[in-house]
Amino acid sequence: MANLKELRDERLRKLEDLKKLGINPYPASSRRTHNNVQIIDNFSQLEGKQVTVVGRIISIRKFGKIAFVVIKDNTGELQLFWKEKEDEVDTKNSEVGLEHISLLDTGDFVQCEGEVIKTQTGEISVEVAKLRLLTKSLRPMPNKQDGFTNKEERLRRRYVDINVNDDVKQRFIRRSKFWQATRDFLNNEGFIEINTPVLEHTTGGADANPFVTHMDAIDEDFYLRISHELPLKRLIGAGYEKVYDIGPRFRNENYSDEHLPEHIAFESYSAYQDYTEGMELYERMMKEVALKTWGTLKFKNVHGFDIDLEPKWPVVRYPDIMKEKFGVDVFNPDLEQLKKILSDHKVNLDGEINTNRAMDSVWKIIRKESAGPFWLINEPLSISPLAKQDPDDPRVTQRFHPVIAGSELGNGYSELNDPIDQLNRFLEQQEMRDAGDAEAQMLDIDFVEMLEYGMPPTCGYSYSERYFWFFEGVTAREGVPFPQLRSEVDDVTKSTYPEVYAAMDTKAHNSRPQDFGRRVVILVNKELEPWKMANSVAHMSAYMGNQLSKDQFDTGDYFLTHDGQKLPRNSQYPIIIKRAEEKELHKVLVKVRESRLRHHVFIKEMQDTTNDQEIVDILRRQTEKDTTFYGLAIFGDNDNVNRLTKNFQLYK
The pLDDT value given to residue 28: 95
Q: Are 203 and 267 in the same domain?
A: yes
Q: What is the CATH classification number for the domain harbouring 547?
A: 3.40.1490.10
Q: Are 96 and 195 in the same domain?
A: no
Task: Report if residue 627 sits inside a domain.
Answer: yes
The stretch 415-433 carries a mean pLDDT of: 87
Residues linked to residue 393 through DSSP beta bridges, in sequence order: 390
Average pLDDT for the chain: 90
Q: Is the pLDDT of residue 129 over 90?
A: yes
The pLDDT value given to residue 504: 59
Determine the structural domain holding residue 49 and report its residue range: 4-135
Question: Alpha helix (H) ranges present in 310-398?
Answer: 318-326, 335-344, 355-368
Lowest mean pLDDT segment, chosen from 96-100, 208-212, 280-284, 313-317: 208-212
The stretch 364-377 carries a mean pLDDT of: 96
Q: E strands of 139-228, at which residues? A: 192-193, 199-200, 212-215, 220-224
**Considering the chain, what percentage of its residues have pLDDT values greater than 70?**
94
For residue range 28-52, list pLDDT tens digits in order. 999 999 999 999 999 999 999 999 9
For residue range 599-631, list pLDDT tens digits in order. 999 999 999 988 888 898 899 899 999 999 999
Q: What is the CATH classification number for the domain harbouring 56?
A: 2.40.50.140
User: Mapping DSSP to helix (H, G, I), strand (E, B) and coil, where does residue 287 land?
Assistant: helix
The DSSP code for 443 is P
For residue range 467-479, list pLDDT tens digits in order. 999 999 999 999 9
- Cβ-based neighbours of 354, under 8 Å, separated by 6 or more: 335
Helix (H), strand (E), coil (C) string for 132-157: EEEECCCCCCCCCCCCCCCHHHHHHC
CA 454 to chain centre: 34
Task: Report if residue 326 sits inside a domain.
Answer: no
The stretch 289-311 carries a mean pLDDT of: 96
Residues linked to residue 533 through DSSP beta bridges, in sequence order: none
Q: Are 437 and 518 in the same domain?
A: no
Task: Report if residue 61 sits inside a domain.
Answer: yes
The pLDDT value given to residue 20: 96
Cβ atoms of residues 53 and 111 within 8 Å: yes
State the virtual CA torsion across 281, 286, 287, 288 in degrees, nearest 10: 90
Task: Report if residue 84 sits inside a domain.
Answer: yes
* pLDDT category of residue 545 using cuts at 50, 70 and 90: confident
* pLDDT category of residue 443 using cuts at 50, 70 and 90: confident
Q: Are 381 and 523 in the same domain?
A: no
Task: Report if residue 495 sits inside a domain.
Answer: no
Q: Is 143 left (phi over 0), alpha (psi -120 to 50) or beta?
A: beta
pTM of the model as a whole: 0.77
The pLDDT value given to residue 1: 45
Task: Name the pairing type of β-strands 124-135 and 77-83.
Answer: parallel
The stretch 459-485 carries a mean pLDDT of: 95
For residue range 229-260, list pLDDT tens digits in order. 999 999 999 999 999 999 999 998 888 888 89
The stretch 323-339 carries a mean pLDDT of: 94
How many degrees, rounded to 5, is the angle at CA 630 between CA 627 and CA 632?
Answer: 100
The pLDDT value given to residue 503: 59
Q: Which of 575, 590, 574, 573 is nearest to 629 (CA)?
A: 590
Task: Report if residue 107 sits inside a domain.
Answer: yes
What are 610-613's contacts with CB under 8 Å, separation 24+?
612/434, 612/435, 612/436, 613/434, 613/435, 613/436
- Number of domains into which the chain is organized: 3
Task: Report if residue 341 sits inside a domain.
Answer: no
Q: What is the CATH classification number for the domain harbouring 262?
A: 3.30.930.10
* pLDDT category of residue 297 using cuts at 50, 70 and 90: very high
The last residue of one of the domains, among 456, 472, 488, is 472
Q: Are 527 and 576 in the same domain?
A: yes
The last residue of one of the domains, among 135, 154, 178, is 135
Report the alpha-carbon distance of residue 535 to residue 184 in Å, rounded: 59
Q: Are 567 and 518 in the same domain?
A: yes
The pLDDT value given to residue 549: 64
Q: Which of 359, 396, 364, 363 is nearest to 380 (CA)?
A: 396
Q: Are 418 and 457 in the same domain?
A: yes
Q: Are 646 and 589 in the same domain?
A: yes
The last residue of one of the domains, among 452, 472, 492, is 472
For residue range 210-222, list pLDDT tens digits in order. 899 989 888 889 9
* pLDDT category of residue 556 using cuts at 50, 70 and 90: low
Q: Which of 295, 219, 329, 343 is nearest to 635 (CA)?
A: 219
Q: Is the pLDDT of residue 466 over 70?
A: yes
Q: Are 93 and 189 in the same domain?
A: no
Q: Are 297 and 422 in the same domain?
A: yes
Task: Report if residue 191 sits inside a domain.
Answer: yes
Q: Is the pLDDT of residue 426 over 90?
A: no
Q: Is the pLDDT of residue 272 over 50?
A: yes
The stretch 258-267 carries a mean pLDDT of: 94
Cβ atoms of residues 523 and 588 within 8 Å: yes
Q: Are 415 and 542 in the same domain?
A: no
Q: Are 444 and 588 in the same domain?
A: no
Q: Is the pLDDT of residue 514 over 90?
A: no
How many degrees, rounded to 5, is the angle at CA 52 between CA 11 and CA 140?
Answer: 20
* pLDDT category of residue 392 using cuts at 50, 70 and 90: very high
